[in-house]
Chain A
């Protein structure tokens, strides 16, 4: 008995469903998530029941669990941060602070006291929702 060998029309793998699913996933990630800038430190913000949303348009400063301050991907001392902020344009009114939940709360108060001399008149402490 002889079998026909189908050489000419080889079955091609149909990629259409896979492409559909991949596109769907892509659109999901594009729409549902926010692209985050690579973090300078691994900072875990404190939980809070606050409902105020934050915008990423403000200047960002980071405060890690050891109380070190970073501004624009560089570790700075509190005194040099104040100097930098003084040099910035007079438009800064709000500063976004990403502080670790483990940091000593006195560090935040020290920071706020130091900002009294600058044009910053409000800081937003970044938190996450409880659940």
Chain B
């Protein structure tokens, strides 16, 4: 007995359903994936032990909503802060900074100021109202 070998018409796997599923997965991941580079700033909550660390001699920095910063007694722009603060911190004993934003200062301004202060080499930053 002889069977006819169907060499001409090879059975092909139907890929349509596979393509459907893969497209669905692709669309799901395209919509839910974010490429935002998230970073963080760690802020310590003040000590709860009741032992208050000394902030005597710390430098007071007060950012305002116009992009200016008042440092101890003089006023300067945020961009100049690091240049002015670095030598002051180098000379100071405890390298501590107190940041007290004025009213209506947005978070972006505060974060920019915190960046500058950390860049200047402060060891401790305290945030007060």
How many residues in A have their beta carbons less than 8 Å from beta carbons of B? Answer: 54
B residues 48-82 in Cβ contact with A at 8 Å: 48
Q: A15-B19, A105-B109 are in contact. Are A121 and B30 (CB under 8 A)?
A: no
B7 within 8 A of A: no
| Contact A22 B35, beta carbon cutoff 8 Å | no
The answer to whether the Cβ of B2 comes within 8 Å of any Cβ in the partner chain is no
Q: Which of B32, B34, B43, B109 contacts A112 (CB 8 A)?
A: B43
- Interface: A57 (CB within 8 A): no
Q: Is the interface of B mostly helix, strand, loop or mixed?
A: mixed
Q: Which residues in A have their C-beta under 8 angstroms from that of B9? A: 8-9
Q: In the assembly, what is the distance between CA of A99 and CA of B106, in Å? A: 11
Q: A26-B26, A51-B39, A100-B107 are contacts. A19–B15 as well, Cβ < 8 Å?
A: yes
Are B34's CB and A34's CB within 8 A? Answer: yes
Q: A54 to B114, alpha carbons, bound, how many Å?
A: 18
Q: Which of B29, B46, B118 has the most CB of A within 10 A?
A: B29
Contact of B43 among A47, A106, A123 (CB under 8 A): A123
Determine whether the beta carbon of A50 is less than 8 Å from that of B45: no
Min Cβ gap A92→B in Å is: 11
B39 touches A30 (CB 8 A): no
A109 & B40 in contact (Cβ 8 Å cutoff): no
Additional A-B contact list (9), CB under 8 Å, known A36-B33, A49-B115, A105-B105: A23-B22, A33-B34, A46-B110, A47-B111, A102-B107, A109-B127, A122-B43, A124-B42, A129-B39
